[in-house]
Amino acid sequence: MKYLKKILLALFVVASAYLILMPFAWMLSTSLRPNHEVMRYPPIIFGGIYTLDKYPEFLRRWDFLRLFGNTMFVALASAIGAAFTSALAGFAFAKYSFKGKNTIFYGLMATIMIPIFVILVPMFIILNKFHWYDTYYALIVPFLASPLGIFLMRQFIYAIPNDLIYAARIDGCSEYRIFSKVIIPSTIPALASLVILIFMLQWDSYLWPVIMTNSQKMKVLTTQLAMISRENFASTNWNLTMVGAVLSTVPIVILFLFMQRYFISSITMTGIKE
């Protein structure tokens, strides 16, 4: 019975990995096939003819460097900015006492339940009044504060022993220095998780960039890929669409591989207990 459980668990893991990885394998395989192979029936994932011709064609037909640069800048700026403001707010809610703290915190948490579609029109009107339409400000500023990020950081910072903060104050540290030298190093795993989460959300964002951008120079990968998909809907150039999907997936994979070590890191509290 013991070995049977292990075998069943291994089979479940293998089957889950297969279901997760096969769409990516199909995407990569399609991006490497010529037009007549894409429409082949029955379709195949492995084997057949492979070519890299569609990658240079994709880069020539669309200004990929600008699309990539726009998307990377917007996603990174939003993720880093939101992580910083969430850490500041989380520190305040976790370690300070002030009038109305719980009311403000619960009010922020209530905004998580508001669908984005409800606030699209008010956000558009406000940003248009600022003359931010079709600018980076419109794509970044609304996402520099994250209620979910504030909640995550507040819960993480709350677990940090107060003795660390008291000891820092006795040593003459200012509140800014406590935040930068005590709180930030102790919350790197949470900050890394938050950066990855917000980066992925912004990288995959489609509706807001469509609403707030108009010129080609402000396009991001998601909006351009949607246009390419519509253009190729009635043609056999689905390999071009898959090329764009592959190129837009690579940064997410690289970021996760680079940041995953922070998920398994632990906080060393030097034996101090509350």
* pLDDT tens track for 70-116: 999 999 999 999 999 999 999 999 988 888 888 999 998 898 888 88
**Helices 64-95 + 188-203 axis angle, to 10:** 140
167-193 CB burial, b ≥16 within 10 A, e <16? ebeeeebeeeebbeebbeebbebbbbb
Q: Which residue has the higher pLDDT, 232 or 72?
A: 72
Residue 271: pLDDT band with limits 50, 70, 90:
very low
User: What integer pLDDT is reported at residue 270 of this predicted model?
Assistant: 33
Q: Is 70 exposed, middle or buried (0-12, 13-18, 19+ CB in 10 A)?
A: buried
The band of 200, judged by pLDDT with boundaries at 50, 70 and 90, is: confident
pLDDT band with cut points at 50, 70 and 90 for residue 273 = very low
Q: How far apart are CA 86 and CA 149, in angstroms?
A: 5
Alpha-carbon gap, residue 193 to 202, rounded angstroms: 14
pLDDT at 235 over 70: no
Q: Which of 44-53, 179-188, 248-257 has the lowest mean pLDDT?
A: 44-53
- CB contact at 8 A, 129 and 171: no
pLDDT in tens, 117-141: 888 889 999 999 999 998 999 999 9
* Lowest pLDDT segment from 11-20, 201-210, 251-260: 251-260
3-state helix, strand, coil in the chain (%, to 5): 75, 0, 25
Domains plus CATH for the chain?
49-262 (1.10.3720.10)
Per-residue DSSP letters for 227-248?
A: HHHHHTTTSSTHHHHHHHHHHH
Phi-psi region of 268 (alpha: psi -120 to 50; beta: other; left: phi over 0): beta
List, for residues 136-168, the tens digit of each pLDDT value.
999 999 999 889 899 989 988 888 888 888 888
Cα–Cα distance, 245 to 260 (Å, whole number): 23
State residue 205's pLDDT score: 87
Confidence of residue 263 (pLDDT cuts 50, 70, 90): low
111 close to 147: Cβ distance less than 8 angstroms: yes
d(C-alpha 164, C-alpha 161), whole Å: 6
156 three-state secondary structure = helix
Helix (H) or strand (E) holding 189: helix 188-203
Mean pLDDT, residues 1-21 taken together? 83
Return the closest-CA partner of residue 92 out of 182, 161, 198, 179: 179
- Across the range 173-200, mean pLDDT stands at 87
Q: What percent of the chain has pLDDT over 70?
A: 89
